[in-house]
Amino acid sequence: MSLGKTAITRAFLALCVFTSFTLAAQTPRFVDPALDLQNLPTTGSALSAGGNDDQIIRFRNWAALYPTREIRSGEYTLALPEDFVDFSDFRYTVGDQSYSLDEYMLRNHVGGLLVIKDGEIKLERYGLGNNDESLWVSFSMAKSVTSMLLGAAIQDGYIESVDDRVTDYLPRLKGSSYDQATLRNVLQMASGVQWNEDYADLRSDVATSPNDIMELMRFLGSKERAAAPGEVFNYNTGETNLVGAAVRAAIGNNLSTYLENKIWQPWGMESDANWATHGNAGELGGCCINATLRDYGRLGMFALNDGMLADGTRIVPEGYMAESTSPSSGNPGYGYLWWLSGDDSYSAIGIYGQGIYINPESDLVIAVISAWTTAVGREYGQHRGAFYAAIDEMLTN
């Protein structure tokens, strides 16, 4: 394995340092989607239920449980020709042990796996009862979409630059710790404002921050500054919701409609989707688009195409995707709401095993949706990183 591919594994390990555990022998999980609506969870939350049937039902039926806004597909669908590859002999290695594709699907509780190479589907598999029409929650993969929408707002002239102050678009935060923070700072998770993103702690900021956007701004505005802007990386879903709010304020519209008009329809997404909202207000810039596996793959292809439509129309400015996927000063493994792998590849990542891996050098996109039993996990991350690297190496050589 090359040094570049080894870097992929290291980058994903860096993301998944919160918990470590040993995966026991498992049997495949399956929940019949035909019974979902009669078995919708009535207690618990997305952060409190891992490994049971409720988790799968919740991840597959977000709009039945939480407020969302629709993202409509259009008449045009970007074709994904099928040129399947035989993966029966495929192996990836973690430590001194090798694993098969079936073992990866089982160990990492995979609900869907899509591999697109040179614009063609090489592998498509489903688990947990999902199929090609199942919607599944993105969790923080939505952050990377918000990053691209901010780029679109720059291209459209609504935002001048990532060096604009956050308070230029959200004046309610004037006089708070965000006074000196730029859009670039929050895109790079380096605002310098205090925040606790411990998913295992139900008293953490990520677990207790209000859903209402106005209350969230008050909550974030009350936080102390822990570092100068731009210097220290601190993963913060709360302020990525501020990024979403800043884009909404700049464009004078909601994110779902903007996504629909700029990317979803013109790029050719196949299915309707939806995006979780702050109640009756705007979308969560940091979380929870609900789409099919194939459309997550198409999102990866849009990023791979440098944020341009097939006819060459620019949706994001020239150079924006390269800038978005360049190392930041606070964390060389993070760009503008994208995780970086140490080579030219990068990823959108969500808790519980959601991911879109993109490698421009090998023209490769891997989309995976999952239901890990914990929000993050070292061993899960090891397997995902090694799996991505092995797929990349297999299809490139």
Percentage of the chain beyond pLDDT 70 is 93
pLDDT bin (cut points 50, 70, 90) of residue 24 is very low
Q: Are 159 and 150 in contact (CB under 8 A)?
A: yes
pLDDT surpassing 50 at residue 13? no
pLDDT surpassing 70 at residue 9? no
pLDDT surpassing 90 at residue 319? yes
pLDDT confidence of residue 168: 97
pLDDT confidence of residue 22: 42
pLDDT confidence of residue 19: 35
pLDDT bin (cut points 50, 70, 90) of residue 49 is low
pLDDT surpassing 60 at residue 4? no
**Lowest-pLDDT choice from 25-29, 50-54, 233-237, 358-362:** 25-29
Map residue 194 onto helix, strand or coil: coil
As assigned by CATH, the class of the 159-248 domain is mainly alpha
309 or 49, which is more confident: 309
pLDDT digits (tens, 9 = 90+) for 111-155: 999 999 999 999 999 999 999 999 999 999 999 999 999 999 999
Of 107, 85, 60, the residue nearest 293 (C-alpha): 60
Query: Per-residue DSSP letters for 99-167?
Result: E-HHHHHHHTTEEEEEEEETTEEEEEEE-BT--TT--EE-TTHHHHHHHHHHHHHHHTTS---TTSBGG
Q: Are 87 and 123 in contact (CB under 8 A)?
A: yes
pLDDT digits (tens, 9 = 90+) for 357-377: 999 999 999 999 999 999 999
pLDDT surpassing 50 at residue 29? yes
pLDDT surpassing 60 at residue 8? no
Q: Which CATH architecture has domain 3-150+252-372+379-396?
A: 3-Layer(aba) Sandwich (3.40)
**Lowest-pLDDT choice from 48-57, 64-73, 84-93, 350-359:** 48-57
27 or 193, which is more confident: 193
Q: Are 195 and 238 in contact (CB under 8 A)?
A: yes
pLDDT digits (tens, 9 = 90+) for 182-234: 999 999 999 999 999 888 888 899 888 888 888 888 999 999 999 999 999 99
The pTM of the whole model exceeds 0.85: yes
pLDDT surpassing 90 at residue 281? no
pLDDT confidence of residue 6: 44
Provide the mean pLDDT of the chain: 92
pLDDT surpassing 60 at residue 14? no
> N- to C-terminal Cα distance for the chain?
11
**What angle is formed at CA 378 by the lines to CA 374 and CA 382, rounded to 5 degrees?**
120
CATH 1.20.58.710 domain locations along the chain? 159-248
CATH 3.40.710.10 domain locations along the chain? 3-150+252-372+379-396
